[in-house]
Structure 1
Amino acid sequence: MSEPWENSNHPLFIHHSDQPGAVLVAQPLVEDNYTTWAQSMSMTLMIKNKKGFIDGTIQRSTQRVEEQLQWDRCNTLVKTWLLGSMSKEISNSIIHCKTARGMWQELQERFSHTNTVQLFHIENAIHDCKQGTSSVTSFFTKLKSLWNEKDVLCEIPPCICEVSKEIKAYMDTQKTMKFLMGLNDNYATIRSSIVNMESFPIVNQAYSMALRQEKQAELSTGKAMAQPEATAFAMRRGNRENEDGEGAVRCEKCNKTNHSTKNCRAHLKCTFCNSRHHTFEYCRRRKAIMGDGQGSSKANNAVSFNDKKETAMNFPF
């Protein structure tokens, strides 16, 4: 006959992956993170079906010895998980506790006094939280994170009475008011519209409306900036053409004012002298060299002609 705790859904069931001393949370318990650590550890033990060992809902049997031994095994396993998820100094001070429930209660008593200090800082941060240079999304995310931390420290017991519904509605209204007051002045229109609504929206709805206005403002700003940039470019081009005097023509290739772009010679290069601003046809150096060569040839021809003439005159007949 099988035991009931051999069923995987039984709280006394131990899976083969449930190793002693395993670290179940990302950040170990230190002096200033008890609230977040306790919340993370509670969720992890809930998944492993062992949360009853810290909240006292799973009691040790007083009848069957086998069940008592299985409960002791599970209790010791949870204790090792708690000890492995805290600093060495804290674990050394509570290792003497006999049950996981007693260990959990001692941690609550030790660190509960810090909740008041943390609550004061959170309330102060919520009061000073403004949009400033942040976007609507960044501002809302920061404010939402502070509210979540406050809710963990000031958890209201669950209740189904009518008064609890009124209290929740009041708290939701306060959150929406705080969000609207933290927005910048350019959201005054949407702020007035939300305040004057007959059915006051919750904070998520108010955030959606403010985000919609932010996106519309970004589109309008983008269109408004496109036209001034084009106008500024045209003005810079006009100023560049007329900066040396009214009516002066400026070349767009070499940026000079003594000629137009059509008549610019900056790209010309002579194949004879390798100089710029002219071609082979108009090269002055080539013409000068060719002119000296023609003069020398004429002089030589004149000398030769005179020599021949003298020789002919002196020939004896």
Structure 2
Amino acid sequence: MLVSEPLAEDNYSTWASSMMMALHIKNKTGFVDGTLKRPTINAEERLQWDRCNTLVKTWLISAMSKNMSKSVIHCKEARGMWLELEDRFNQTNSVALFHIESSIHKCEQGSNSVTTFYTNLKGMWDEKDALCSFPSCTCEAAAEIKTFMETQKTMKFLMGLNESFEQTRSNIIGMDPLPSLSKTYAIVLRQEKQSEVAADKATAMPESAAFSFKGLGRETSLTEKEAADTSVNSVRRGNRDVRRPEGGGRYCEKCDMTNHSTKYCRAHITCSYCGMKGHSQPYCRKRKNDITNGGLQQPKANHVGTQNGVTEGQSDGFPFSKQECQLLLNKLIAKSQSTSANLVGNIQNYEELSGPTIGEDDWDRN
């Protein structure tokens, strides 16, 4: 098949132009435009002409749809087949022109790229020019008419662009003289490429980004390249990715960290002194620094509240409540008194409690 798209009911003008170009390459246009007549004197030339005519007819039939080829397959000459198709489809130029004008009017960029939008618009303009082209003219007004038609196409191209090209559109319209259609397309395409590069830079993570890990009172910083070399497996947990170490190393299921296990996770603990998570008040470094510097401050969080699951009267780092401490204290006092009473009752000689007295052997300075 010589053309990429077979003949249908709505693409005759495009098909005819493509077919004429293909026949021109094969040097067979004379068989369809009537310039190469069938020889009548030389029998050998007549036989060669008939063979070429059949070849052109075969090309035309192969470039049509199956149903359409049945209506022209019995034509004796390629010229007659060409005229048959022209008479059938060339009479509806007004209808085709209406549809093309309507498509050009409705054509907008939408979700397409600038290149796709321009290609669709340019194809419809070319098809429109093929249906109703201006006759060739060499007068002085021909250049003005051509400039006017070029300006109309440029305006339509700018009007169909998305709102993201509003600034570019204003800059082009403000130019004097207005650039040609091809130059306008080049300016808009360059702006689109620059916007894509800026968007990629904004969303891409820089190579020098660092990952911070806190654990055991120290911080470690790894660059992205070093973190990529870490041997980890990525598994799915809910709507997020969980990175597990290979070989069954330490891993916390609460905070998804690899520097401790779930048993020793302190991510849910909140310090009642500084309000930070990950440690309690007895292990608060800020509190220790304030004590060392002699400037102990009041806790920022109310450690007797019940919002974090701590009962009233119970501090964050102390395991007993105020009532339990008082009960233990009373028991210790009662036990201490009972022990003292038993000790006094078991001693037979009270002098053992008061110590030795002055006896006859003591030196009394006499």
- Does the 8 Å contact 1:250/1:261 carry over to 2? no
Pick from 20, 36, 56: which aligns with 2:14? Answer: 36
- 2:58 maps to a residue whose letter is T
1:110-151 CA-to-partner distances (Å, cap 9, x unmatched) read 112343323222211211122234332332222223223323
Mapping of residues 1-317 of structure 1, within 5 Å: 23-222=1-200, 244=270, 247-251=274-278
SS, match of residue 70 in structure 2:
helix
- Does the 8 Å contact 1:53/1:75 carry over to 2? yes
- Superposition TM-score, scaled by structure 2 size: 0.53
Aligned partners of 1:119, 1:26: CA distance in 2, in Å? 23
Task: Report the Cα offset of residue 222 of structure 1.
Answer: 4.9
- 1:120 maps to a residue whose letter is F
Q: CA 1:84 to 1:220, structure 2 compared with 1: closer, same or farther past 3 Å?
A: closer
Task: Report the Cα offset of residue 186 of structure 1.
Answer: 3.6
SS, match of residue 29 in structure 1:
coil
Aligned partners of 1:31, 1:248: CA distance in 2, in Å? 78
Aligned partners of 1:261, 1:129: CA distance in 2, in Å? 67
Aligned partners of 2:27, 2:113: CA distance in 1, in Å? 42
- Residues matched between the structures, number: 228
Aligned partners of 2:154, 2:30: CA distance in 1, in Å? 37
Task: Report the Cα offset of residue 261 of structure 1.
Answer: 11
Task: Report the Cα offset of residue 109 of structure 1.
Answer: 0.7
- Does the 8 Å contact 2:72/2:81 carry over to 1? yes
RMSD between aligned alpha carbons?
Answer: 3.6
Aligned partners of 1:171, 1:245: CA distance in 2, in Å? 76
Aligned partners of 1:215, 1:136: CA distance in 2, in Å? 10
Q: CA 1:61 to 1:170, structure 2 compared with 1: closer, same or farther past 3 Å?
A: farther
1:174-224 CA-to-partner distances (Å, cap 9, x unmatched) read 111111112233433322322232222111111111222233334445555
Q: CA 1:42 to 1:248, structure 2 compared with 1: closer, same or farther past 3 Å?
A: same
Aligned partners of 1:84, 1:117: CA distance in 2, in Å? 27
SS, match of residue 71 in structure 2:
helix
Aligned partners of 1:148, 1:260: CA distance in 2, in Å? 79
Aligned partners of 1:125, 1:68: CA distance in 2, in Å? 48
Task: Report the Cα offset of residue 106 of structure 1.
Answer: 0.9
Q: CA 1:218 to 1:74, structure 2 compared with 1: closer, same or farther past 3 Å?
A: closer
- Does the 8 Å contact 1:249/1:258 carry over to 2? no
Percent identity reads 54
SS, match of residue 179 in structure 2:
coil
Aligned to 2:242: none
- Does the 8 Å contact 2:118/2:157 carry over to 1? yes
- Superposition TM-score, scaled by structure 1 size: 0.60
SS, match of residue 31 in structure 1:
coil
Deviation >6 Å, runs of 4+? 240-243, 258-262
Greater RCO, 1 or 2 (C-alpha within 8 Å, sep 6+) = 1
- Does the 8 Å contact 1:25/1:41 carry over to 2? yes
SS, match of residue 109 in structure 2:
coil
- Does the 8 Å contact 1:126/1:143 carry over to 2? yes
Q: Which has the larger radius of gyration?
A: 2
Larger strand share, 1 or 2: 2
Aligned partners of 2:284, 2:186: CA distance in 1, in Å? 57
SS, match of residue 19 in structure 2:
helix
Q: CA 1:45 to 1:186, structure 2 compared with 1: closer, same or farther past 3 Å?
A: same
Aligned partners of 1:83, 1:127: CA distance in 2, in Å? 35
Instruction: Show structure 1 runs of 5+ residues with no match.
Output: 1-22, 235-239, 263-317
Task: Report the Cα offset of residue 103 of structure 1.
Answer: 1.0
- Does the 8 Å contact 1:250/1:258 carry over to 2? no
Task: Report the Cα offset of residue 62 of structure 1.
Answer: 4.7
Aligned partners of 1:196, 1:93: CA distance in 2, in Å? 56
- Does the 8 Å contact 1:249/1:259 carry over to 2? no
Aligned partners of 1:201, 1:218: CA distance in 2, in Å? 24
Instruction: Show structure 2 runs of 5+ residues with no match.
Output: 213-254, 256-266, 286-366
- 2:191 maps to a residue whose letter is Q
- Does the 8 Å contact 2:271/2:277 carry over to 1? no
